[in-house]
Amino acid sequence: MPLDPEIAAILPLLSGAPPLREGTPASARAGFRLFTVDLRDPAHLAPVLSTEDVSYPAADGERAARIYRPHVDGPVPTILFVHGGGFVIGDIDTHEDHARLLSAEVGAVVFSIDYRLAPEHPFPAGHLDVVAALRHVVGIVGELGGDASRIAVAGDSAGGNLSAGAAIAARNEGLPLKAQLLLYPSTDFDADADHPSRVDNAAGYFLTADDMLWFRDCLLPDHTDVRASVLRHPDLSGVAPAIVATAEFDPLRDEGEAYATALEKAGVPVVAKRYDGLIHGFFGLPHLSAGARRATVEICADLKELLG
C-alpha cells in the first residue's frame, strides 16, 4: 500500500530534527519530550478513572511508576507497560498516551514504569529493571487489577524488546503471564543480519537505520546477548501468547515479523499483523491518522480478547 496520506502529511514534522548521532542523549531526550509532552493536546488523551504516581523496586533501587485505572468495575487485567525510545530516550510522561489508551480500550489497570536508560546504564540494566517490575506487579496484583490469571506485559519499539525479554524471564521464573503485546519491537541487534526492511525503510519514515545504529551503540556492548537479541534465543517455547504488531514503512518491520515466526515455530500462540501504510510509532498517532486509529483499536481489541 502507499504511505498513509495523513502520515505523509506530518512526516516532515516527525523527521525534521537533525540525526540523533549529531547530538547527545540529553538533547535527544529533550527533543523527544518536546514533541510528545510539551506539544501534546491533553484533549487527545484517552480518559481513565484515575492515575497514581508510585514507585517500584527496580534492580538498583526504587524507580518511578504510574498506575492507570479504567472505568470498569470488578477484577480486571493488569498490564505492565514498558515505554519505547531506543533504550536511550522516553519516560512515563512521553508515553502517557499509550498507557491511557491501553487502560481505556482494554479495560485494564496499567502499571507504566521508568527504567534505567543507556548510555549511562547500558544493557542489561533496563532489562533487569523490567523483570524486577514484572515480579513486583505479580506480587501486588491484588492492589492493581485484582486478577492474577490475567497479567500482561506490553511495550513499543525498545519497550517491545524489553517486554519480550521479560516474557522469557517470566517463563524461566514461573511468573504467571497471560500475554505479551509487542508493538513494532526490535528483536535482533546484529547490524549485518538480513532484514530487508532495514534497507527499504532506512530513511524518510521517522525512525531511520542510522538512528537504530546510534541507539545500539549507546546500549549494547555485545549484540549476541540473547536477552536483548531475543530473535536469537535458542528456546522460546512456553513463553506467554503474543500479539506482534508491525508497520509496513518501518526499518524494524522484518525483525519483528521474524520474531513472531520464531514464536510460532516454538509452539507459542501468536497474533501477528502488519499494518500497511503506517510507520514506526503509529500507536502514538491515532489523533493524527485514521489509519493509525483503526490499528490501535484493533490491537487493543486483540489484547482484550487474549486476556479473556
- 56 DSSP β-pair partners: 63
Which member of 157, 163, 186, 289 is catalytic?
157
Which member of 83, 136, 195, 280 is catalytic?
280
Q: Which residue has the cell 527533543?
A: 31
- 206 DSSP β-pair partners: none
In three-state secondary structure terms, 179 is strand
* Cell output for 264: 510460532
Are 302 and 243 a contacting pair, CB within 8 Å? Answer: yes
* Cell output for 224: 549476541
Between CA 182 and CA 230 the distance in angstroms is 12
Which member of 97, 188, 250, 254 is catalytic?
250
Q: Residue 55 burial by CB count (10 A; 0-12/13-18/19+): exposed, middle or buried? A: middle
Q: Is the peptide bond before 124 cis (omega within 30 degrees of 0)?
A: yes
In 116-269, alpha helices (H): 125-139, 158-173, 197-200, 209-219, 253-265
In 73-200, alpha helices (H): 96-106, 125-139, 158-173, 197-200
Active site residue 250: yes
Active site residue 280: yes
Q: Residue 298 burial by CB count (10 A; 0-12/13-18/19+): exposed, middle or buried? A: middle
- Residues labelled catalytic: 157, 250, 280
